[in-house]
Amino acid sequence: EVLLRMHSVGICGSDVHYWQHGRIGDFVVKDPMVLGHEASGTVVKVGSGVTHLKPGDRVAIEPGVPREMDEFCKSGRYNLSPTIFFCATPPDDGNLCRYYKHSASYCYKLPDNVTFEEGALIEPLSVGIHACKRAEVTLGSKVFVSGSGPIGLVNVIIAKMMGAAAVVVTDLSASRLQKAKEVGADFTIQVKNETPQEVASKVESVLGCMPEITVECTGVQACIQAGIYATRSGGTLVLVGLGPEMVTVPIVNAAVREVDIRGIFRYCNTWPVAIALLASKRINVKPLVTHRFPLEKALEAFETTKRGEGVKVMLKCDPTDQNP
């Protein structure tokens, strides 16, 4: 293990949800819990067996650490391990604090040209990498991203990086769609009160064809329905956003058109990929951070996220650091 002095921690919708509701699905907060799972920091101390890190190293933290070498770990899909430790998922504490201890194998050294803030953004970026891999985005893909929050945006960034020829994004908010354009979306559609079928036909008309791939990032029932209707026959719909446990969808429409519906659970094996992309300057995640607060103003930061202002709110845990 390593002891870290925390630097940058992003606030996620799930953090806000635990704070407001005390549970997400079967994960229920029963005792006080530290939030935060999008994080970077500096190594202060290393355990005796740690060889790849030393005090002073700047690292990005992968929040999910398997507790046992089970079949899921052996097959490389450790995110599915039922006993996994995960920051800020009850009962496991997160890393929104000054000092934090974590498994050394899940701390990744940041190159000098990758900032702490970019290091903290690797966590949401990983959701995009994992989702686009599950969707099999490739050279020339036409992609529909439903929802333009932080997760919709990272999916736009990664889909374009993986070779998508055209990406169309939908959202209710014009300002969020403007941000999607900024990070590389080719088309945006502001939805108001259209039916799912109407949204699907708008997607088809702006792309000039139905997309082979839809990445659904809202979890809203009507959006999942639109995702099925919009996806080309033989294509893939990846469900990233999570809403109510039970959702009514036109499953027969998907079945008879051979639309594959896939889920994702967090991510695995994404930190090295993300670090390589950031170090090579192939992707730019800086536009995602819109607000910064010192740790002392955490409540204000959470309120800002809850109100849906900006995109990504970042907390600064190191009072000695003067850099943005």
The tens digit of pLDDT for each residue in 217-230 reads 999 999 999 999 99
Tell whether pTM > 0.85: yes
Any domain includes 222:
yes
15: its two tokens:
């953090």
Residue 274 included in any domain? no
Same domain, 101 and 140: no
Let me know whether 251 and 310 are in one domain.
no
Q: Are residues 22 and 102 in the same domain?
A: yes
Output the CA–CA distances (angstroms, integers) from residue 184 to 113, 144, 164, 181, 206, in the order listed. Answer: 22, 13, 11, 5, 16
Measure the CA–CA gap between 220 and 238, rounded to whole angstroms: 14
The count of domains in the chain is 2
| Domain-embedded: residue 275 | no
Task: Please report the DSSP string for 28-49 in residue order.
Answer: E--S------EEEEEEEEE-TT
- Closest by CA position to 210, among listed 192, 235, 189: 235
- Answer yes or no: is 273 within a domain: no
Instruction: At 189, give phi and psi (nearest 5°).
Output: -130, 120
pLDDT for the residue 244: 93
**Per-residue model confidence (pLDDT) at position 179:** 97
- 96 and 154 housed in the same domain: no
- Could you tell me if 199 and 297 lie in one domain? no
Residue 302 lies in a domain: yes
How many angstroms separate the Cα of 22 from the Cα of each of 103, 115, 314?
26, 32, 22
Q: Does residue 120 lie in a domain region?
A: no
Backbone angles phi, psi at 212, to 5 degrees: -75, -25
- Side chain identity at residue 299, one-letter code: L
DSSP letters along 114-137, please? S-HHHHHHHHHHHHHHHHHHHHT-
Positions of the chain with pLDDT under 70 = 322-324
Residue 40: name the closest of 58, 66, 13, 65 by CA: 58
Coil, helix or strand at residue 79: helix
With beta carbons less than 8 A apart as the criterion, state whether 73 and 66 touch: yes
User: Does residue 259 contact residue 179 with C-beta atoms inside 8 Å?
Assistant: no
> What gap in Å lies between CA 280 and CA 286, rounded to an integer?
14
- Percent helix, percent strand, percent coil in the chain, to nearest 5: 35, 25, 40
Alpha-carbon distance 143 to 160, whole Å? 9
Report which of 264, 268, 322, 270 is spatially closest to residue 292, judged by C-alpha positions.
Answer: 322
Q: Is residue 268, in this structure, part of any structural domain at all?
A: no
* 234 and 138 within one domain: yes
Query: Does residue 277 form part of some domain?
Result: no
Same domain (yes/no): 18, 89? yes
- Asked if residue 78 and residue 48 are part of one domain, the reply reads yes
Q: From residue 30, how far is each of 26, 27, 197 by CA, in Å?
A: 12, 9, 42
* Backbone angle region of 112, left / alpha / beta, with phi > 0 → left and psi within -120 to 50 → alpha: alpha
Q: Are residues 150 and 96 in the same domain?
A: no
Q: List the CATH number of the domain containing 219.
A: 3.40.50.720
What is d(CA 261, CA 268) in angstroms, rounded to the nearest whole number? 19
Per-residue pLDDT, 322? 58
Q: What are phi and psi of 171, to 5 degrees?
A: -165, 165
Judgement on whether residues 171 and 242 belong to the same structural domain of the protein: yes
Tell me, rounded to whole angstroms, the distance of Cα 36 from its chain centroid: 13
Domain assignment of residue 66, given as a range: 2-109+285-316
Indicate if 249 and 189 belong to the same structural domain.
yes
pLDDT at 324: 45
For residues 7 and 321, the answer to whether their CB atoms sit within 8 Å is yes
Q: How confident is the model at residue 323, as a pLDDT? A: 54
Reduced to 3 states (helix: H, G, I; strand: E, B; else coil), residue 61 is strand
Give the domain CATH number at 307.
Answer: 3.90.180.10
The reply to whether 61 and 95 lie within a common domain is: yes
